[in-house]
Structure 1
Amino acid sequence: MELIQAIRGTRDILPDEVGYWQWVESIARTILCKANYLEIRTPIFEQTSLFERGIGEATDVVGKEMYTFSDRGDRSITLRPEGTAGVVRSYIENKLHVGGVQRLWYTGPMFRYERPQAGRQRQFHQLGVEVLGSNNPRADVEVIAIATDILQALGLKNLRLDLNSVGDLEDRGRYRQALIDYLTPYKDELDADSQDRLSRNPLRILDSKDRRTQEITQNAPSIIDYLGEKSRTHFDKVQQLLAGLGISYSLNPRLVRGLDYYTHTAFEIISDDLGAQATVCGGGRYDGLVQELGGPDTPAIGWAMGLERLILLLQQLQNLPQSELDFYIVSRGELAESQATILAQKLRNAEFSVEVDLSGSAFGKQFKRADRSGAVACLVLGDAEAENQTVNLKWLKTGEQNQFSQSDLLTQTEEIRSKIQASRSSGTTMSQ
């Protein structure tokens, strides 16, 4: 029989890696809650038109990368390739604008048909934030500062912030034409994708990874030179506020991001420890998207972090502390095994972490597994202990042993908890 395997571009997140994911989610949740960002959970699939209108039909995401299918009602459905469009749809549909400025965050799987590689999968996960209802430059700086806080709280150091402004629609229109005028004489030297983008989405050519195209665009006009007074004032204020917070940045006029809905501030946070796929967070302002999708005129800004890429970086840079197990219970014999199950549950109810050996194998093998478990102490029940309603407690780091009646063990939980904490902090166990 043929072995069924995970589909290419998807992967299992196994128990020895899940701890990194939980750690990132915990750190992010704590920092976002402190800034009063509220979690939102939107469907994994949406109407295809949401992404066509929201992201832009001329983008690679819509044109090449979406997972789109017809459902049984012959409706065109797409697995979400990013999180912002769904959040905006929910914002409009549920009239969240009535409540004033909305600070929202989300996390979950996204889907794009890309070439799988390290840190990039066809099913991938993002953590993102959206601030809807404020055009103040302080909102731009707030989301950048929060992203920085999260990454620094995870222990990342070799990070840099690239910053740009893509202006408003009028600014981009003027710049778009200037870029076309500059690039047209080089059309035959551009890579195939850039030739296709020249008339449809020329700003994306600035993001090309083709070496010759990069050489050509090196001397291309800068969008900063085409910003109107309003856009320039906004961008200047963003830079002043970042400086006030001590957040260093580099101006990168080639930074345009990949989606059509961006306006004004665009930014990426890049790790110098990741190689080619170096961006761990990217985002910007999208003041026209809510209105484009049928809602009121609403300024907004947000970002997303690719979690696969972030976890890959964390695994390279640091070991995750192992989960702390208090007790490993060894038992053998029908009565002893029954008592072990009951004792384990009572200890868990007393806020201890407990693993029960379920193998029924010889004591020697169970003791070896206890040593490998990382538990502070081992509880032992055999025929004699079961008959007498007792339990042996063995401190695994020192080999010291104590015997308790099972009832006494449960009445001395605070004393035992103190010994467990002392063992973890000193590497030894205090004497009984």
Structure 2
Amino acid sequence: MKNLQAVRGMNDILPADSALWQYFEATVGKVLAGYGYQQIRLPIVEPTELFKRSIGEVTDIVEKEMYTFADRNGDSLTLRPEGTAGCVRAMLEHGLLGGGVSHKVWYTGPMFRHERPQKGRYRQFHQVGVETFNLGGPDIDAELIILSWRLWRMLGLDEAVTLELNSLGSSADRARYRDDLVAYLRERFEQLDEDSQRRLDSNPLRVLDSKNPDTQALLADAPKLADYLNDEARAHFEGLRALLDAAGIPYVINPRLVRGLDYYGLTVFEWVTDRLGAQGTVCAGGRYDGLVEQLGGKPAPAVGFAMGIERLLLLIETLGKVPAELSRQVDVYLVTLGTETQQPAIRLAEQLRDALPGIRLVVHCGGGSFKSQFKKADKSGALYALILGEEEAAAGQVGFKPLRGDGEQLTLAWDAVPEQLRKVLQ
């Protein structure tokens, strides 16, 4: 029989890799809790119409990349390609946006897009999303950027990422700009790359984001969106910049930053790196004040961002910022010798777990010689071994042996073991 394998672009996260994921997720959770954000858990599958109405039917995501299927009732469902739309749907469905009450939420989990798999870009990928509702000023835009900057510093990534900012203005601003941009590009249609020619009718602002160098050269003399911003949009952007300046966060203005989703307006931003080749964006977001109304709610301001976990973990590894302690998953390995030691070993292990919450203690299972057990103890990465033979068990004692570096072997009473471990593991 043919061996079954994972779907292309949908990868297993193996035990050896999971410690880094857990470290990253715990760090993210700690930062967000420090700013008063609460976690929301969302379904992986949503009605297809949700993404057509939010992302836009003529976007690449909806046209080419979504995993969509009919369920047994004939309803069209889609594996979520991003998290914002589902979060807005949940907030509306449960009546959380009424009365102008503000909310700060975050979520994490897998997203799905049928793209060509490559390093840092997969068909099942994982994101952390952060969303805020009913807060319309530049102060909350700044807070999202500031908290992400704090996260980069905690992870040791701050010198490897750059913040790019832009304002898309209001929908009326973009409409006026779109008309002039299309007119400019129409006169140069034959010089555009094929993808930009297609986008000219469906989503012309995405031409600004073209990776084709010839198209980018053509855009040098194109109309600039910044020239079309109304006074309110300009003031919002200037307010955001002033807050970032006050916080000491460096940034660059990228007038061609438009993001790939139709629902953005006013602030858009990306954290980018030059350390990962073509996959340079590690976190991106912006303001989407019109999306709540677009999905059937009353108008409500909203802003958020999403960060790609795989890319950030790749960046952590590339920069050598993986904490050394992650390579060790075991603190203490309990070696048992003799058939009469299994029950005492379990009692001792549970007493130690009670006395030392959080200790990573492995009790040897499966029998074997003293030598083979010590090989497994050493391979586990444990710092210390406890040795429980039949004589020690009968006497209420246990051997204590360092497995790394210098240190003498001791014989300890059971009630002395917790204090010894506290001393050496602190």
The alignment's TM-score, normalised by the length of structure 2, stands at 0.94
SS at 1:4 equivalent: coil
Which position in structure 2 is the counterpart of 1:29? 29
Distance in 2 of aligned mates of 1:319 and 1:286: 35
Q: How does 1:142-291 map to 2 (within 5 A)?
A: 142-156=143-157, 157-291=159-293
- The root-mean-square deviation of aligned C-alpha atoms, in Å, is 1.6
Listed as ranges, the gaps of 5+ residues in structure 2 are none
Residues 14-37 of structure 1 deviation map (CA, whole Å, 9 limit, x = unaligned): 122212211111111111111111
Alignment of 1:49-198 (within 5 A): 49-98=49-98, 100-156=101-157, 157-198=159-200
Alpha-carbon distance in 2 for matches of 1:378, 1:413: 12
Identify the residue that residue 5 of structure 1 maps to in structure 2.
Answer: 5
* Inter-partner Cα distance in structure 2 for 1:417 and 1:356: 16
Name the CA distance, whole Å, in 1 between partners of 2:416 and 2:220: 72
Residue segments in structure 1 that go unaligned for 5+ positions in a row: 423-432
What SS class does the counterpart of residue 263 from structure 1 fall into? coil
Deviations 1:217-255 (A, max 9, x none): 232211001111111111111111111111111111100
Within-5 A mapping of 1:388-403: 388-396=395-403, 397-403=405-411
Distance 2:163 2:390 in 1: 64
8 Å contact kept, 2:335–2:374? yes
Find the residue that maps to 1:379 and give its secondary structure: strand
**Code of the aligned partner of 1:216:** L
How far is 1:256 from its partner? 0.1
1:347 is aligned with what amino acid?
L
When structure 1 is superposed on structure 2, of 359-368 and 333-342 the one drifting more is 333-342
3-state SS of paired residue (2:278): coil
Structure 2 counterpart SS, 1:225:
helix
Deviation at 1:413, TM superposition (A): 4.3
Query: Given the alignment, which residue of 365, 385, 404 partners 1:378?
Result: 385
Matching residue within 375, 394, 404 for 1:368? 375
1:292 to 282, 294, 302: 294
* 1:343 matched residue in structure 2: 348
Identity of aligned residues (%): 49
Q: Deviations over 1:132-185 (max 9, x none)?
A: 101111111111111111112111122211100111110000010111011112
8 Å Cα contact 1:141-1:238 kept in structure 2: yes
CA distance in 2, matches of 1:4, 1:341: 38
Deviations 1:375-409, CA, capped at 9 Å, x for gaps = 232111234334544322222333522223xxx31
Shift of 1:355: 0.8
Matching of residue 48 in structure 1 with residue 75 in structure 2: no
Q: Could you tell me which of 308, 312, 324 is aligned with 1:310?
A: 312
The residue type equivalent to 2:106 in the other structure is W
Matched position secondary structure for 2:398: strand
Letter of the structure 2 residue corresponding to residue 180 of structure 1: V
- Partner secondary structure for residue 96 of structure 1: coil
Answer whether contact 2:133 2:300 (CA < 8 A) is retained: yes
Number of aligned residue pairs: give it: 418
Aligned residue number for residue 426 of structure 1: none
Q: Which runs of 4+ in 1 moved over 6 A?
A: none
Q: Is the 8 A contact 1:326 1:420 kept in 2?
A: no
The reply to whether residue 329 of structure 1 matches residue 338 of structure 2 is: no
Contact 1:350/1:413, CA 8 A, preserved across alignment: no
Measured against aligned partners, the alpha-carbon deviations of 1:336-355 in whole angstroms (never above 9, x if no partner) come to 23322332222222223211
Letter of the 2:60 counterpart: D
Q: Does residue 319 of the first structure (1) align with residue 325 of the second (2)?
A: no
What is residue 422 of structure 2 aligned with on the other side?
418
**Counterpart position of 1:354:** 361
Q: Could you tell me whether the CA contact under 8 Å between 1:376 and 1:420 is conserved in 2?
A: no
Quick one: distance in 2 between partners of 1:136 and 1:244? 16
2 CA distance for matches of 1:35 and 1:310? Answer: 21
Structure 2 counterpart of 1:430: none
Partners of 2:352 and 2:418 within 8 A in 1 = no
The SS at the match of 1:25 is helix
69-78 or 339-348: which moved more?
339-348
